[in-house]
């Protein structure tokens, strides 16, 4: 039975991408009762009917599953960031990166609006977040089309979600990627409606011309950390990993402990000081949340 990926739904009709073709599917009776069982991004087994429509027979196990936006099987998060307009907000960037790490999704940092800044500033950012932290970083300009061909190669064959402050260029980027699709909009999800888990807006995965799926609602902008404690937070800073075995204490939180190799790496300039500072701020935050 062919396997496809759900890209959107509308009143119990699911549009499933099967071999590059959009098939209109209705779920079998048992799924009909609970709409939450099938969501965008789900991989489903589809029985193709003679009339060209399909029936969803089975939802395959999810690799991961986000609540906001409600998308399953997300491969990567495009974290859009700028040095100017709006001014660089490293605390926000690092907070988003922690949420992305926690969700088990791979970040791809898109440094946008490079048409507005000096090359040296771009290089410094790449040195910090790619060379020192270890993330993939792509300098781009959505306005001038710089870096978009390489970005398309990262998008092909994968399911991606956007993140980033308002004004960093998420909508502009999608327009630059899909210039002929005027219908495509990147919209925020409105706040949760009432007590339910339903968001008030449907999420659609945009089927990109050069391959890949992209959610039309950004995510990872919640401020508070949930289900993170002080012992897990440090695991979401990948640049600590290669030093922490050298810390004197194996349960070192890299704060004030003696002979901390992570802090030594910060002092030696091998880990960006702002990353460690933001880590300490988050550490205080998750500890404060546990106090009551
Ligand atoms: P969003 O809130 O993240 O969706 O941001 P928008 O896509 O609405 O972009 C905010 C503003 O930044 C708009 O005026 C865009 O035209 C502008 N913008 C987006 N990308 C670039 C870029 O690469 N270079 C320049 N100079 N402006 C850009
Ligand atoms: Zn340490």
Q: What is the mean pLDDT of residues 45-56?
A: 92
Provide the pLDDT for residue 194: 43
In the sheet that holds 205-207, the strands lie side by side as 136-139, 106-112, 76-82, 159-163, 213-215, 205-207
Provide the pLDDT for residue 185: 79
CA diameter of the chain? 71
Name the residue with the closest Cα to ligand 1, atom 16: 172
Name the residue with the closest Cα to ligand 1, atom 18: 169
The rounded mean pLDDT for the chain is 91
Name the residue with the closest Cα to ligand 1, atom 17: 169
Residue 23 forms beta bridges with which residues? 16
List, for residues 128-147, the tens digit of each pLDDT value. Answer: 999 999 999 999 999 999 99
List, for residues 207-246, the tens digit of each pLDDT value. Answer: 999 999 999 999 998 888 989 999 999 999 999 999 999 9
* Tokens 């440094």, located at residue: 111
Around ligand 1, the residues with Cβ closer than 6 Å are 112-113, 115-116, 141-143, 164, 166-172, 186
* Nearest alpha-carbon partner for 221 in 67, 60, 20: 67
For residue 90, pLDDT beyond 50:
yes
Residue 16 forms beta bridges with which residues? 6, 23
For residue 70, pLDDT beyond 70:
yes
Counting ligands in written order, the one closest to the CA of 147 is: 1
Query: How far does residue 247's CA lie from ligand 2's centre (Å)?
Result: 5
Q: What is the mean pLDDT of residues 145-172?
A: 97
Backbone angles phi, psi at 226, to 5 degrees: -125, 145
């Amino acid at each position: 039975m062919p396997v496809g990926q759900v890209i959107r739904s509308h009143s119990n009709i699911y549009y499933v991408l099967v071999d590059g073709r959009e098939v209109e599917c209705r779920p079998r009776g048992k799924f009909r009762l609970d709409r939450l069982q099938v969501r965008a991004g789900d991989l489903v087994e589809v029985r193709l009917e003679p009339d060209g429509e399909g029936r969803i027979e089975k939802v395959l196990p999810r690799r991961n599953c986000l609540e906001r936006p409600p998308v399953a099987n997300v491969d990567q998060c495009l974290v859009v960031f700028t040095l100017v307009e709006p001014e660089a907000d490293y605390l926000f960037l690092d907070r988003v990166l922690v949420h992305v790490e926690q969700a088990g999704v791979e970040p791809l940092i898109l440094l946008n609006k490079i048409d507005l800044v000096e090359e040296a500033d771009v290089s410094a950012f790449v040195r910090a977040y790619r060379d020192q932290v270890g993330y993939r970083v792509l300098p781009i300009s959505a306005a001038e089309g710089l870096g978009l061909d390489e970005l398309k190669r990262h998008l092909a064959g994968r399911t991606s979600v956007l993140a980033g402050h308002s004004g960093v260029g998420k909508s502009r980027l999608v327009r630059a990627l899909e210039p002929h699709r005027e219908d495509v909009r990147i919209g925020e999800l409105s706040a949760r409606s009432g007590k339910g888990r339903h968001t008030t807006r449907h999420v659609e995965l945009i089927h990109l011309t050069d391959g890949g799926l992209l959610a039309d609602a950004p995510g990872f902008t919640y401020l508070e950390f949930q289900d993170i404690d002080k012992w897990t937070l440090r695991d979401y800073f990948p640049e600590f990993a290669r030093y922490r075995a050298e810390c004197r204490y194996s349960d070192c939180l890299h704060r004030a402990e003696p002979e901390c190799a992570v802090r030594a790496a910060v002092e030696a300039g091998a880990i960006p000081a702002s990353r460690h500072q933001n880590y300490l701020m988050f550490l205080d935050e998750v500890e404060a949340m546990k106090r009551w």
